[in-house]
């Protein structure tokens, strides 16, 4: 049995707010499954139903083929967005406190090394940087040596370097064959970490698959980027080409780069600053919803 967690037609209504509107998916053992979407899409509500923190209005969740219960609670690790860490205590004491909650735990020394916490063990948890705090929260999620780990927007607010360091940690955990469920606003993060993603909007899944397969299915185009001042408003291109102007740039979606460049040259558009990029998951989101992921 390769499916560790199966979700069928999950719905959650908060009075008149329809936060989650019937989502279904299965998460394979040892994979990283990502839920992506903008603020309010329903990611946290979905994950909190999976974690058992809130009850679904309807729908089912099965872990190892059974409704989630005591086994799931012992075998799941949760990295909360805002775990309220006990104030006035130190990092090492915090880990000890959480490890006492479980019958089966992972050696703390190993966790401390894995999450690079050795230097901060005696530090008050209020004095940690954003990256250090996230590493501590991850260590807490791993304290019971879970088979499935939930990471809810684990890198929100971190600087790019701290984010990349955190990704390395998550990749190390993946190597241990743990199953991961990740929510994120960052398409780059999903591309880097996830084997499969579900893109959510308005409480529904609007696209699902591996990041590469999704890009391949939806896009066989490249994007030609030019400074806006180099591209005259009167430019006459193939009418099927999609051209958009934003932030001082012109972006042209093209499925035939050679032809598009010939058309630009024929109209004396300077190409000194031309750049060509592949389309990203960010573009995919824009295409599917007509909105940018981060507004
Ligand atoms: N306890 C609640 N009571 C009422 N409405 C809620 C509650 N929790 C969430 N919602 C609403 O449900 C919708 C989905 O919220 P949710 O937090 O799941 O989205 P999200 O995709 O996780 O967003 P974010 O990225 O901002 O965390 C939103 O409209 C939100 O306002």
Same domain for 121 and 37: yes
Same domain for 135 and 90: yes
Strand 196-201 with 249-254, pairing: unpaired
Same domain for 170 and 233: no
Q: Is 43 in the pocket of ligand 1 (CB under 6 A)?
A: yes
Calpha distance 121→91 (Å, rounded): 5
Nearest CA to ligand 1 atom 31: 40
Joined together, the tokens standing for residue 200 give 């959510």
Read off the CATH number of the domain in which 152 is found.
Answer: 3.40.50.300
Residue 68 lies in a domain: yes
Same domain for 36 and 180: yes
Residue 52 lies in a domain: yes
Same domain for 201 and 234: no
Would you give the distance in Å from CA 120 to the centre of its chain? 27
What's the CA dihedral at 99, 102, 107, 108 to 10 degrees?
A: -10
Calpha distance 212→220 (Å, rounded): 12
Q: 31 pLDDT exceeds 90?
A: yes
Helix (H, G, I), strand (E, B) or coil at 153: coil
Per-residue pLDDT tens over the stretch 115-132: 999 998 989 888 888 888
Q: Given the CA of residue 200, which atom of ligand 1 is nearest to it?
A: 21
Q: How many CB atoms lie within 10 A of CB 60?
A: 13
Q: 78 pLDDT exceeds 80?
A: yes
Task: Specify the pLDDT at position 222.
Answer: 82
What does the buried/exposed string (b/e) look like for 79-111 if buried means 16 or more CB atoms within 10 Å of the residue's CB?
A: bbeeeebeeeebbbebbeebbeeeeebbebeeb
Q: Given the CA of residue 203, which atom of ligand 1 is nearest to it?
A: 14
Task: Specify the pLDDT at position 1.
Answer: 52
Q: What is the pTM of this model?
A: 0.81
Cβ-based burial of 8 (10 A; exposed 0-12, middle 13-18, buried ≥19): middle
Q: How many structural domains compose the chain?
A: 2
CA of 290 to the centre of ligand 1 (A): 21
Q: Is 14 in the pocket of ligand 1 (CB under 6 A)?
A: yes
Cβ-based burial of 117 (10 A; exposed 0-12, middle 13-18, buried ≥19): buried
Same domain for 262 and 144: no
Give Cα separations from 266 to 96, 158, 230, 240, 294 (angstroms): 70, 46, 14, 18, 37
Read off the CATH number of the domain in which 242 is found.
Answer: 3.30.70
Q: Which of 162, 185, 216 is where one domain is finished? A: 216
Same domain for 182 and 229: no
Task: Specify the pLDDT at position 243.
Answer: 84
Mutation probe of ligand 1 site: the residue of 43, 80, 289, 295 with most atoms within 8 A of C-beta:
43
Helix (H, G, I), strand (E, B) or coil at 18: strand
Per-residue pLDDT tens over the stretch 257-294: 888 899 899 999 999 999 988 777 777 887 777 766 55
Question: Which range, of 34-38, 193-197, 211-215, 271-275, averages the lowest pLDDT?
Answer: 211-215
Residue 274: give the domain boundaries: 220-278
Length of the chain: 295
Per-residue pLDDT tens over the stretch 206-265: 999 998 888 777 777 788 999 999 998 888 877 777 788 888 899 888 888 888 899 899
Same domain for 254 and 149: no
Same domain for 224 and 88: no
CA of 204 to the centre of ligand 1 (A): 13
CA of 287 to the centre of ligand 1 (A): 23
Give Cα separations from 285 to 36, 112, 173, 199 (angstroms): 10, 38, 28, 8
Residue 292 lies in a domain: no
Nearest CA to ligand 1 atom 6: 14
Calpha distance 18→219 (Å, rounded): 31
Q: Given the CA of residue 185, which atom of ligand 1 is nearest to it?
A: 25
Q: Tell me what the mean pLDDT of segment 22-42 comes to.
A: 93
Q: Given the CA of residue 12, which atom of ligand 1 is nearest to it?
A: 12
Q: Tell me what the mean pLDDT of segment 182-209 comes to.
A: 91
Same domain for 110 and 12: yes
Same domain for 233 and 156: no
Q: Is 44 in the pocket of ligand 1 (CB under 6 A)?
A: yes
Task: Give the angle 213-216-221 at the CA atoms, nearest 5°.
Answer: 160
Q: Is 53 in the pocket of ligand 1 (CB under 6 A)?
A: no
Residue 295 lies in a domain: no
Q: Which of 216, 232, 258 is where one domain is finished? A: 216
Residue 159 lies in a domain: yes
Q: Given the CA of residue 41, which atom of ligand 1 is nearest to it?
A: 21
Task: Specify the pLDDT at position 18.
Answer: 94
Same domain for 138 and 102: yes
Q: Given the CA of residue 48, which atom of ligand 1 is nearest to it?
A: 18
Residue 289 lies in a domain: no
Residue 20 lies in a domain: yes
Residue 163 lies in a domain: yes
Q: Which of 199, 216, 233 is where one domain is finished? A: 216
- The most confident of 25-29, 134-138, 255-259, 264-268, by mean pLDDT: 25-29
């Amino acid at each position: 049995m390769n499916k560790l967690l199966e979700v069928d037609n999950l719905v959650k209504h908060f009075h008149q707010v329809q936060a989650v509107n019937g989502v279904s998916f299965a998460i394979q053992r040892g994979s990283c499954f990502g839920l992506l979407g903008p603020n309010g899409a329903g990611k946290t509500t979905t994950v909190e139903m999976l974690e058992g923190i809130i009850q679904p209005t309807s729908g089912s969740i099965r872990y190892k083929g059974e409704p989630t219960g005591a086994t799931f609670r012992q075998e799941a690790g949760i990295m909360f967005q805002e775990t309220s860490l006990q104030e006035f205590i130190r990092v090492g004491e915090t880990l000890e406190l959480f490890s006492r909650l479980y019958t089966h735990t992972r050696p703390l020394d190993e966790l401390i090394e894995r999450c690079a916490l050795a230097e901060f063990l005696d530090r008050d948890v209020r004095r940690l940087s954003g990256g250090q705090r996230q590493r501590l929260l991850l260590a807490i999620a791993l304290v019971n040596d879970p088979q499935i780990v939930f990471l809810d927007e684990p890198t929100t607010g971190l600087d790019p370097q701290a984010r990349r360091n955190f990704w390395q940690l998550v990749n190390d955990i993946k190597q241990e064959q743990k199953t991961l469920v990740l929510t994120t606003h960052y398409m780059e993060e999903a591309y880097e970490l996830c084997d499969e993603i579900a893109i959510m909007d308005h409480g529904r899944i609007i696209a699902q698959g591996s990041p590469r397969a999704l890009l391949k299915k939806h896009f066989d185009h490249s994007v030609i980027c030019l400074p806006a001042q180099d591209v005259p408003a009167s430019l006459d291109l193939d009418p099927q080409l999609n051209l958009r102007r934003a932030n001082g740039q012109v972006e042209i979606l093209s499925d035939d780069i050679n032809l598009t460049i010939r058309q630009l040259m024929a109209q004396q558009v300077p190409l000194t600053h031309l750049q060509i990029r592949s389309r990203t998951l960010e573009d995919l989101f824009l295409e599917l919803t007509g909105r940018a992921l981060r507004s």
